[in-house]
Amino acid sequence: MATDPLSLPWRVGRHVPRHIYVQLGAGPNDEDRYIGTLETPELAAEACAGHNARLSPNPAVALANAAIREAFARE
């Protein structure tokens, strides 16, 4: 498995949504690698969505990014 953070999907933190992690498995887990913290959850979600969109034109990635944005739009 690649370990370069730029070649793997990113996600926001489960408990602190301002944190960004490199997602190492099929879904969020405790083994994901912490990258950093942004000012707001919305900025973190946008950073993850933008990065993940560049990784793959896969429709599943687009749906995941939309879910991230929607979750923070409701707050």
Q: What is the pLDDT of residues 2-59, one digit of tens each?
A: 568 888 999 999 999 999 999 998 888 999 999 999 999 999 999 999 998 888 766 7
Sole residue written with tokens 């490199």: 22
Q: Read off the pLDDT band of 68 (50, 70, 90).
A: confident
Domain boundaries, the chain: 8-73
Q: Give the pLDDT confidence score for residue 53 in this predicted structure.
A: 85
Q: Give the pLDDT confidence score for residue 55 in this predicted structure.
A: 83
3 state SS of 58 = coil
Gap between the Cα atoms of 55 and 73, Å rounded: 23
Residue 10: count of CB within 10 angstroms of its CB: 22
